[in-house]
């Protein structure tokens, strides 16, 4: 398939994933605020930190605003110049979709375009002002609908594979960011669970909910709510669709379907990087990770998936044959 089109498929799903994860985090955080008494600063700023926009936010709104729930939510939801806001991610998703309408199905386009039209309509502002939880859920649900429609209406061939590949890779990174919220909100996690405070436990509960992971987590009989178990679940669980290991495995599968398994093939190096990362992570154990610092592992996941994405972009989308003038998109 045309490299530029493949690249748009790839970015489309990364942006959709960002919308879904951020919408869910904002929704969960709203409810979480009611449960535990922590200062707002630690409740909202971490969300900005993990989207990589702390510097930008502080320059724009000043340190004082970081404990203002309204300003932070507005910044993460509507800000046009925050490249990670829901609004910006949705615009990028829709813009990528618009350039590949001939590739995606009509229903996929309509779902996304509908959401974009809604976001720009007064109805969205009203919903945001009066029923914010419903507003965030609507965004999240439309993203899930988008995936469902893709699954059910597209040819399961290369364009679809590039999209799913992007979703898997982005999910691995987003889960790592979600794990890191706790670090930015409360601080490092002790390897000894008996040292955990009630608010830390509450934060881990929120972390699971950020990933829709509460019930899957509880289905593992040995799991009790503590940092060690939650982190282990989110990093390693082989069947949970948002765990890092699950998504690295999926990334590898989709690369194989794209033919990257054959030596010397276009995506061979990307596949090698994914394999190395998956093997490296699966050989580690949670005690060792916590002793060394969970934040360090989360950072490693974000950086490694970034490197893999870079390799995919380089090899599939910007091959050296012929001149390329393609502009690259924000990777944050």
Partner 1 sequence: MIRMATGTKSKTLFADYAPLDGAFDELFAPDGSVRPEAARTVELLNAVGIREFKARQKLADASFLKSGITFSVYSDQQGAERIFPFDLIPRLVPGALWARTRRGLEQRIQALNAFLDDIYGEQRILAEKVVPEDLVLGAAGYEKKVRGVRPPSGVHIHIAGIDLIRDPAGEFRVLEDNVRTPSGVSYVLENRQVMKRVFPRVFAESKVQGIEEYPIRLRDALTSVGPAPDDQDGTVVLTPGPFNSAYFEHSFLARRMGVPLVEGRDLFVDDDKVYAKTTQGPQRVDVIYRRIDDAFLDPEVFRKDSALGVPGLVRAYAKGNVALANAIGNGVADDKGIYPFVPDMIRFYLSEEPLIGQVETYVCARDEDCRYVVEHVGELVIKAVNEAGGYGMLIGPQSTRAEQKDFRERILANPRNYIAQPRIELSTCPTWTQHGPAPRRVDLRPYIVTGRSTWVMPGGLTRVALKKGSYVVNSSQGGGSKDTWMLEDGAA
Residue of 31, 63, 106, 134 that binds partner 1 (CB under 8 A): 106
Residue 34 burial (CB count, 10 A): 7
Residue of 2, 134, 218, 224 that binds partner 1 (CB under 8 A): 2
Angle at 162 between CA 332 and CA 302, to 5 degrees: 30
Contact 325, 283 (CB under 8 A): no
Residue span binding partner 1 (CB under 8 A) among the ranges 234-242, 245-253, 273-281, 322-330: 322-330
Q: For partner 1, which is the closer residue by CB, 3 or 185?
A: 3
Contact 88, 120 (CB under 8 A): no
Residue 91 burial (CB count, 10 A): 18
How many Å apart are CA 57 and CA 65, to the nearest integer? 9
How many Å apart are CA 313 and CA 6, to the nearest integer? 9
Q: Shortest approach of partner 1 to residue 137 CB, angstroms?
A: 21
How many Å apart are CA 247 and CA 238, to the nearest integer? 9
Residue span binding partner 1 (CB under 8 A) among the ranges 33-41, 227-235, 298-306, 323-331: 323-331
Q: For partner 1, which is the closer residue by CB, 3 or 89?
A: 3
Q: Does 158 help bind partner 1 (rule: CB under 8 A)? A: yes
Q: Does 109 help bind partner 1 (rule: CB under 8 A)? A: yes
Q: What is the DSSP letter of 327?
A: P
Q: How far is CA 185 from CA 41, 199, 265, in A?
A: 8, 10, 44
What b-and-e string marks burial along 159-174, b requiring 16 or more CB atoms within 10 Å of the CB?
bbbbbbbbbbbbbbbb
Q: Does 157 help bind partner 1 (rule: CB under 8 A)? A: no
CA atoms within 13 A of residue 170's CA, in its CB half-sphere: 22
Site string for partner 1, 206-245 (x = CB under 8 A): ----------------------------------------
Q: For partner 1, which is the closer residue by CB, 106 or 287?
A: 106
# chain residues binding partner 1, by CB under 8 A = 33
Q: Does 160 help bind partner 1 (rule: CB under 8 A)? A: no
Which parts of 253-312 interact with partner 1 (CB under 8 A)?
258-259, 266
Closest CA to 267 of 254, 280, 279: 254
Site string for partner 1, 60-99 (x = CB under 8 A): -----------------------------------x--xx
Q: For partner 1, which is the closer residue by CB, 3 or 85?
A: 3
Summarize as ranges the residues that interact with partner 1 (CB under 8 A). Answer: 1-6, 95, 98-103, 106, 109-110, 113-114, 117, 158, 162, 258-259, 266, 316-317, 319, 321-326
């Amino acid at each position: 398939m045309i490299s530029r089109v493949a690249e748009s498929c790839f970015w489309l799903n990364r942006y959709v994933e960002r919308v879904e994860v951020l919408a869910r985090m904002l929704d969960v955080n709203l409810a979480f605020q009611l449960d535990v008494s922590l200062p707002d600063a630690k409740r909202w700023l971490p969300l900005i930190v993990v989207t990589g926009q702390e510097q930008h936010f502080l320059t724009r709104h000043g340190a004082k605003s970081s404990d203002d729930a309204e300003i932070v939510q507005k910044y993460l939801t509507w800000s046009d110049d925050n490249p990670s806001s829901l609004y910006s991610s949705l615009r990028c998703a829709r813009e990528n979709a618009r350039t590949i309408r001939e590739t995606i199905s009509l229903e996929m386009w309509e779902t996304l375009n509908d959401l974009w039209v809604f976001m720009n309509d007064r109805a969205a502002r009203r919903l945001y002002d009066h029923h914010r939880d419903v507003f965030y859920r609507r965004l999240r649900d439309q993203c899930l609908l988008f995936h469902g429609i893709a699954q059910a209406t597209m040819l399961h061939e290369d364009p679809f594979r590039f999209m799913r590949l992007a979703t898997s890779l982005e999910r691995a990174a987003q889960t790592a960011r979600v794990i890191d919220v706790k670090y930015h909100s409360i601080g490092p996690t002790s390897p000894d669970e008996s040292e955990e405070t009630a608010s830390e436990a509450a934060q881990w509960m929120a972390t699971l909910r950020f990933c829709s992971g509460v019930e899957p987590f509880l289905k593992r009989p040995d799991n009790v709510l503590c940092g060690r178990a939650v982190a282990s679940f989110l990093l390693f669980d082989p069947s949970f669709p948002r765990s890092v290991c699950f998504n690295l495995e999926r990334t590898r599968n989709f690369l194989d379907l794209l033919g990257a398994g054959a030596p010397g093939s276009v995506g061979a190096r990307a596949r090698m990087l994914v394999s190395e990362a998956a093997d490296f992570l699966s050989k580690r154990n949670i005690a060792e990770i916590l002793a060394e610092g969970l934040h360090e592992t989360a950072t490693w996941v974000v950086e490694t998936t970034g490197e893999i994405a870079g390799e995919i972009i380089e090899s599939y989308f910007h091959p050296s044959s012929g001149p390329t003038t393609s502009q690259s998109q924000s990777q944050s």
